[in-house]
A and B are shown apart, each in its own frame.
Chain A
């Protein structure tokens, strides 16, 4: 064992790591936002049994959950390119992660929406509200609050799974680390460093979401 752990090496790699971190954050943020939107739309289609579209949503969820994410990423990056719909690595990555997270969020939000008391739907309908108003003004505000922990879980997974994008050459955090390792063989330093960086951003994300949850649930607490 004559491997010498080198903190100065990590320090020297910081500018590269920050570039990678930036890409990781942007890709993840976009994907998390899109995955929640996809989840809201597909879960609503499922819960309201919208003809045809409900089955399409169910099939989409099933497909995404039954295939490996890496295969989905390759399919979008290489597969679509061969059909003439080539996307950049960045946007292929955002699309793949959004669809992946969207499938899980569909199930998360579907769970949240079915947890909304059936009596509230009857109350809303008896007041003459349209189904879309019931959905937007009653079911989603309540149902989304219920599934915040599940949404956070999926958001964390999306963030961590952004490291798969190194396989299609997106210069995110893991890609940068692999790149440095290929040049300098400082495996221990690099992977420890990015591991800690992922840990810190997940902790920050979790704390922020938990604060949000407490804030949003305040009106539900009995005085």
Chain B
């Protein structure tokens, strides 16, 4: 029996109030262990797409399935269960500022009943070790740098033991010297076989870590290809123009 894709999006459309069409007939499937990087100019709908997959935006039409289970009907509880399976890392980290590092990580697993207290603390410590922040366990989050906060946010998402993690421009708000530390954590997760969908402008990361590039423009998927092919011989004009602009910008 063929395993169904972990995440399957079909015919997804999203229209914002006021009739702005952000996504138009998106079809995308992501297999277990796959790292998909979504590229595209700003306003192309990349972030909207992964926000739809996480249920932060209501969809206008189309279907999103996780492990073959459809989310049609969209009941609040169904969404909650869905979100337990798909984690999300935000551009602005969105750590809970009133809690220290370890409480940020253990809050959700404890409340959702995924883990018991000692397990949650142990798991949090293991994850902090993984991202190189074991010493910061009891620090208030405001005392950490952006790069450190984003690594904590990754731990927080991982603590729920999600089947996939969505990254929404995780390094865009960071000072340049902190981008590397976050990307190296992400690369490590990719190597460990964590399923990831990642919206980013980090071409280096896209080239080296992605299994597949999805290029979007104007709310549509223009091209899907493995990174070697996408970066050396893009099929569509629009991808080529995008890559030209980026390479001229980076010199």
Contact = CB atoms under 8 A, between A and B. Distances in A.
A120 B94 contact: yes
Interface in A200-223: 218-223
Contact of B87 (A126, A141, A142): A126
B98 A141 contact: yes
> What 6 A-B pairs are tightest by C-beta distance, nearest first?
A127-B108, A123-B94, A223-B143, A126-B88, A219-B140, A119-B94
Interface of A: 117, 119-120, 122-130, 133, 137-138, 141-142, 145, 218-223
Given A119-B90, A141-B98, A219-B98, A127 B83 contact: yes
A127 B54 CA distance: 10
Contacts of B92: 119
B56 A126 contact: yes
Given A122-B88, A126-B54, 14 more contacts: A119-B92, A123-B94, A123-B153, A124-B96, A125-B55, A126-B88, A127-B156, A130-B111, A142-B98, A219-B140, A220-B140, A222-B142, A223-B140, A223-B142
A128 B96 contact: no
A131 to B, nearest CB: 8
A62 B54 CA distance: 38
User: Interface majority SS on A: helix, strand, loop or mixed?
Assistant: helix
B97 A129 contact: no
B143 A222 contact: yes
- Chain B's interface size range is 20 to 34
Contacts of A124: 96, 108
Chain B interface main SS type: mixed
A43 B55 CA distance: 26
Interface string B80-104: 1101100110101011111110000
Interface of B: 54-56, 80-81, 83-84, 87-88, 90, 92, 94-100, 107-108, 111-112, 140, 142-143, 153, 156-157, 160
Contact of B80 (A130, A137, A219): A130
A145 B96 CA distance: 14
22 contacts: A120-B96, A122-B56, A122-B90, A122-B94, A123-B95, A126-B56, A126-B87, A126-B88, A127-B83, A127-B112, A127-B157, A128-B80, A128-B83, A130-B80, A133-B111, A142-B97, A219-B98, A219-B99, A219-B140, A220-B97, A220-B98, A220-B142
